[in-house]
Structure 1
């Protein structure tokens, strides 16, 4: 019985030793690895969370590294844009100098050419890791969708509520920074989006520089003019100057004629009945009237005086008047022409027409050019547009008003959608006068307005069957024309040449100012992106620290506790060994008693 108890003691001691050794091995593993949960068997839930967080940490670490690369790309672009701003400022200063009298424009152009070339060098060298925001290769830059012309920069790591993972991307539209594009259209290459004359509805402000600057008038109106007859006294030319020959009146001499005012113009296409106008008969200038002038009419001023007196005598002085032609020379007082004068309707007859007609003319003296005549006022309710093809770009919008004869105006907009909808196209092009007439007819709803193409021109007018006005009371036109993207530089920095175009310095200044404004805005856009990426990078760094801390809280071993536990287990191991040794030694002691 004693032997059996001894064996049980040995077995118990051995089992205790094995348990202590197992715990001791686990404690050593935790201390050596620093982890209290190494496998799913240790704690399936915590191990799963920790494994996912380690994967996230690895992804965030990669995103942070990519952010650093993106920040470097932006930093290079930002510094290059800032430098370009200074170069453009220098070019602007040179152009301002070129406006001074007496400067050598050829030498200034040499400096400008060098500065312009440096902008190309700056753009070409603004590359990091093969990425260049300033020197681009984007097809149809202004027509490309923003997503297609944008650089994509990783900016964040996202795990949504469903557990799926994605990398957040920041899009940066390179139209904000493209200084030179392979196909053109870069900020320093000239902007192609100007609609120019808008198919003829706005004229050039400066016809000599249409390709240098978008210098167009914001209005294009055609006013009518009253009926005016241009006449002259008899004259001789002395040393290149016209000298009037006095018209002397003897007894019985006279000039007489009938005068019709403001009759309708048959050639205008008016519907019948036509109004014949107001007629005064036997208007006369005779020797009695001229006696106040010494018996002769000596110049155009005196002729106008006599005619106005004759008109007043017939009761039409408020409807028609004569006047010498006036000259207004530079830096000298105005003066009347001694030979030339006009007869004009005042258009105060309350009739629609504008007419001056002299009939039944007779004269016993040399009256100069005065004779039978019939002249009508010029219409301002009809004009012709000289069409040139143009394209409405995706982001371009044109606003204008249209009116006839001081009637209420209409306001209209032409944009890409308008053009494509009306013409059934997709590219925004208005290629022919027929296309332009179609668009104007679709927009302008004023009753009895006729808009029709005629070859490469467009006739815009009121319907004469409805509009019977003539002369100075008529006017047609487009006003308040604006293009939302203007002002834009139509020439590039490499096109500046004040030596070849010395009179275009101000035009080049205009373009450089527009370029400078764009580059400044682009630099600001890069600054905003730079600031955002820096914040994202700082957040990624913080997120890495938080992930590391979170993983540690889940699986890291408490080294103080593990160290204490190891010491305790080592003591237990020694005691277990001693117990086993005692248990194993007991049978030997019993056997010695029987020896």
Structure 2
């Protein structure tokens, strides 16, 4: 049936053209944006995943920046520590030189003082972005301070996010100077014991070993500023009394009347009886690398103690430098991983939502052709009604 009121052919052609136009609009949007899933309406599941992962990727990019900052802090601390190790090594060499006979130890001390000042300068200068890992107020922080470097951003299976860090402990084995006390490697107090001698002393018929402080003849003379009085195996410097217990070895003495059970060590020309002062424990001084001092009166035993103290500090610094090197290597590896992870996530998001431009361009060309054919078909359908006029012509 032919009707001038209802053009079924035109209606069908129009419906087809609308469908083609809609597909063309979608394809053109994909071509212009490069996205197959641009809004939640395109694919709610993929859009949700892609949006979440883009947000996570932005956080991971921030982690990458934080790793770079952390690496700079660690590299600064390592460089400072490496320089400090060289200076402490030089201090140790100066102490070794001071053990030689005839060396002016006071001159060596002048050099050591300059090296100590250099250590302070190194520690103060090893700062990056306001953080210094070579000096800290350990005393106020109860002995330790934890420094953290952001390492990763993690989203677990339940969707909970967290930030992981690489921690580095600033304590007495990693910090050169304690700004609030003396807990650092270089300002830590060490006990330097003086020379000692062990004597087997007769006390009321029972022999007992006693380790007491020992002095050389030169030290006894120096203690009395050259005014010591020597009487055989007995000497006095005006304030202390000494008895000789071996060749060039003296110990503090007390009047025998105060220790009647002890065997007399010496009877002087005034018939005073002198015994070993067994209460005189080994003398000790405290020192640190930061404050160590030597003079021409410093004994070989004391120098040996200072050498051991400096060597201990050097071993600790070397171990700390190794730890910093290990952390630096770990951060370098983490930086590489985070950069790769960032790229992999971008690639994964692309697989979900990116448009295949080869496919879309082919589809666009086909739809444009279909659109032209649809328009032609609609034109033919509309013109069919005009043919009815031919029926009414004479």
Question: Taking structure 2 as the reference length, what is the TM-score of the superposition?
Answer: 0.74
Alignment of 1:259-278 (within 5 A): none
Q: Is residue 147 of structure 2 the alignment partner of residue 151 of structure 1?
A: yes
CA distance in 2, matches of 1:574, 1:329: 122
Counterpart Cα distance in 2 of 1:62 and 1:100: 58
User: What residue in structure 1 maps to residue 185 of structure 2?
Assistant: 187
Deviation at 1:188, TM superposition (A): 1.1
| Superposition deviation, residue 570 in structure 1 | 1.0
| 1:328/1:62 CA distance change after superposition, 3 Å | closer
- By percentage of residues, which structure has more helix? 2
Distance 2:345 2:66 in 1: 19
Aligned to 2:174: 177
What are the superposed Cα offsets for residues 145-190 of structure 1, whole Å, 9 maximum, x if unpaired?
Answer: x5xx111221122222321000012221111431122112211112
* Correspondence 1:540 to 2:341: no
Inter-partner Cα distance in structure 2 for 1:561 and 1:589: 42
Equivalent residue, structure 1, for 2:137: 137
Distance 1:21 1:500, change over 3 A: farther
* Residues 10 and 329 of structure 1, relative CA distance in 2, 3 Å threshold: closer
The 2-side partners of 1:159 and 1:501 are apart by 67
Residue 498 in 1 paired to residue 285 in 2? no
Q: Which residue of 1 aligns with 2:13?
A: 13
CA contact (8 A) 1:180 1:189 kept: yes
Give me the whole-angstrom Cα distance separating, in 2, the residues matched to 1:98 and 1:512. Answer: 14
Paired residue secondary structure (1:107): helix
Deviations 1:74-123 (A, max 9, x none): 11111111111111111111221222222333332232222211111111
Cα 1:552–1:578 shift into 2, 3 Å: same
Asked which structure has the greater CA Rg, the reply is 1
Structure 1 residues 224, 568: CA separation in 2 closer, same or farther (over 3 Å shift)? farther
What is the number of residues matched between the two proteins? Answer: 329
TM-score by length of 1: 0.50
Aligned partners of 2:391, 2:104: CA distance in 1, in Å?
132
> Hey, what's the Cα distance between the residues in 2 that align with 1:221 and 1:554?
88
Q: Is residue 51 of structure 2 the alignment partner of residue 63 of structure 1? A: no
Question: How far did 1:531 drift?
Answer: 1.6
What is the alpha-carbon distance in structure 1 between the residues aligned to residue 375 and residue 199 of structure 2? 115
SS in 1 for 2:53: helix
Spell out the pairing of 1:131-530 with structure 2 (5 A cutoff): 131-140=131-140, 143-144=142-143, 149-175=145-171, 176-184=173-181, 185-191=183-189, 205-206=193-194, 225=203, 227=205, 491-499=287-295, 502-503=298-299, 504-530=302-328
| Cα distance between partner residues in 1 of 2:27 and 2:246 | 111
Determine if the alignment matches structure 1 residue 559 to structure 2 residue 335.
no
Superposition deviation, residue 328 in structure 1: 6.6
* Contact 1:151 1:172 (8 Å CA) reproduced: yes
Q: 1:224: Cα distance to partner?
A: 6.3
Per-residue CA deviations over 1:248-307 (Å, capped at 9, x if unaligned) read: xxxxxxxxxxxxxxxxxxxxxxxxxxxxxxxxxxxxxxxxxxxxxxxxxxxxxxxxxxxx
Asked if the contact 1:190/1:490 (under 8 Å) is kept, the reply is: no
